[in-house]
């Protein structure tokens, strides 16, 4: 069973149906029409689904630039803004220590090219201190990049706990309960100081409502495969008023309004558009479903296991992501299914992860957990559970039972756990070598 939705989500069958129809349309179009008509067909058909992507975030379709995914979108936003010829006098950027690796690596590449980057720390709950951000912006600052919802601990820089969408006229009901919106304040700070604001929304698109105008963002990155769409497609919102100009990082035929060259993969665009359409229609239902199962999973684990700690803020978070540390258990041991000489099955029937899909191959503890003050020892014990649209209660029940069983077995092999139970662990004076 699949509980790793933050890494990638299963493709919704309704998305597959539309993509298959597009494949058949392409085949028939190639047979029946001349090149000029085929080109017109693609332009009109793709624009229809481009509009659906834009509608999900209240943008103009002309502000949507299709890419291969959020990694490329983040690279284009950061490097494209920095390398644009008219801005060479502004060589300072600001980001956060808990950003996705592609954002951090893009900033490090700019540092090698002579730019200065400020990496802001976060508070113990993972939330950015807005006063600290404002104090770090200077007259040389070009861009601020802040992630919307963190992919490891799902701390959000704004959260809609309940939101209603009126599907009759496709407008958002203005009743919002429990709304916390620091991201809007970040955008306002940047707007007042004349600084571009980029937001990586790969983990939030389709999970919480997004209005790019209300949030004051200039650039926002999206991913198709995080919202039950296909892999290999994403988008970047690029504001037109006031206009944001980017230097393309891929040279070629000048597609996507000159910002991203290369022929569009029409079936992927259609699939992404359909996923966005479904997300807009299902956001309230999905949120209620995910919240219910998330609460059940967390309660079921913590009632049966001591020292099972939820990482990140307890309230200002997306409920579909539970990052839990199991003290005295190595997270990789729980996933890999072996421990010393004992036959141990592990969570072999449950697909979860020990961190970001882009960094979990590393043996280093999560830099995100480190940044929010989690010790290295405890960070090594963390497991990320991702709950999504197609997760069932039966799967949650099975996951609770398997997690409790295997964590308990691993702890039985841990001398540290025995010392902790006897109250001796804190009395030991460890020596360093």
Q: Is the peptide bond before 64 cis (omega within 30 degrees of 0)?
A: no
195 to each of 76, 107, 148, how far by Cα in Å? 17, 16, 18
Q: What token pair was written down for 284?
A: 């309230």
Coil/strand/helix, residue 291: helix
Query: 313-347 in b/e burial notation, b at 16+ Cβ within 10 A?
Result: beebbbbbbbbbbbbbbbbbbbbeeebeeeebebb
CA proximity to 81, closest of 251, 239, 286, 246: 246
Sheet with strand 196-200: strands edge to edge: 64-67, 234-238, 219-223, 196-200, 141-147, 92-96, 116-120
Kindly state the DSSP code that residue 430 receives in the 8-state scheme: P
In the annotation, is 282 catalytic? no
The CA-CA-CA angle for residues 312, 313, 314, to 5°, reads 115
φ, ψ (nearest 5 deg) of residue 90? -100, 110
Helix 13-32 and helix 35-56: axis angle, to 10°?
A: 160
Neighbours of 312 (CB within 10 A): 25
How do beta strands 116-120 and 92-96 pair?
Answer: parallel
Question: DSSP secondary-structure letter at 232?
Answer: T
Cα gap 110→129, rounded to integer Å = 24
Q: What is the DSSP string of 397-429?
A: HHHHHHHHHHHHHHHHT-HHHHHHHTT-GGG--
Place of tokens 């040279």: 251
Cα 335 → chain centroid: 22
Tokens of 219: 């650039």
The catalytically annotated residue of 164, 282, 351, 358 is: 358
The residues annotated with a catalytic role in the active site are 358
């Amino acid at each position: 069973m699949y509980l790793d939705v933050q890494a990638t989500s299963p493709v919704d069958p309704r998305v597959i149906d539309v993509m298959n129809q597009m494949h058949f349309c392409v085949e028939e179009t190639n047979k029946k029409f001349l090149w000029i008509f085929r080109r017109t067909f693609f332009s009109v058909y793709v624009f229809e689904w481009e509009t659906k992507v834009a509608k999900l975030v209240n943008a103009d379709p002309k502000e949507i630039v299709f890419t291969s995914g959020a990694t490329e979108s983040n690279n284009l936003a950061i490097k494209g803004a920095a390398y644009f010829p008219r801005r060479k006098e502004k060589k300072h950027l600001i980001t956060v220590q808990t950003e996705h690796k592609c954002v951090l690596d893009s900033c490090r590449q700019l540092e090698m090219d002579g730019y200065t980057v400020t990496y802001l720390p976060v508070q113990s709950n993972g939330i950015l201190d807005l006063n600290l951000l404002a104090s770090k912006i200077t007259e040389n600052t070009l861009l601020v990049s802040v992630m919307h919802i963190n992919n490891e601990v799902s701390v959000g820089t704004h959260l809609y706990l309940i939101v209603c969408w009126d599907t009759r006229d496709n407008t958002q009901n203005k009743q919002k309960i429990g709304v916390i919106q620091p991201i809007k304040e970040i955008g306002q700070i940047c707007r007042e100081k004349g600084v571009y604001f980029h937001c990586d929304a790969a983990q939030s698109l389709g999970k919480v409502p997004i209005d790019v105008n209300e949030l004051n963002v200039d650039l926002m990155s999206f991913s198709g495969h995080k919202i039950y769409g296909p892999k290999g497609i994403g988008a970047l919102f690029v504001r037109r008023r006031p206009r944001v100009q980017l230097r393309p990082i891929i040279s070629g035929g000048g597609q996507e309004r000159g910002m991203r060259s290369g022929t569009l993969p029409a079936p992927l665009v259609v699939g992404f558009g359909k996923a966005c359409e479904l997300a807009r229609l299902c956001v309230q239902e999905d949120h209620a479903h995910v919240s219910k199962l998330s609460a059940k999973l967390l309660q079921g684990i913590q009632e049966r296991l001591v020292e099972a700690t939820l990482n990140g803020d307890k309230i200002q978070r997306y409920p579909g992501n539970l990052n839990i540390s199991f003290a005295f258990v190595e997270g990789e041991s729980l996933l890999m299914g072996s421990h010393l000489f004992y036959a141990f099955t592990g969570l072999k029937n449950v697909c979860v992860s020990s961190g970001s899909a882009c960094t979990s191959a590393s043996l280093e503890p999560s830099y995100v957990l480190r940044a929010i003050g989690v010790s290295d020892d405890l960070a090594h014990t963390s497991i990320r559970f991702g709950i999504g649209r197609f997760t069932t209660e039966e799967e949650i029940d099975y996951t609770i039972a398997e997690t409790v069983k295997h964590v308990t077995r691993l702890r039985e092999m841990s001398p540290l756990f025995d010392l902790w139970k006897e109250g001796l662990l804190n009395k030991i004076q460890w020596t360093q070598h």
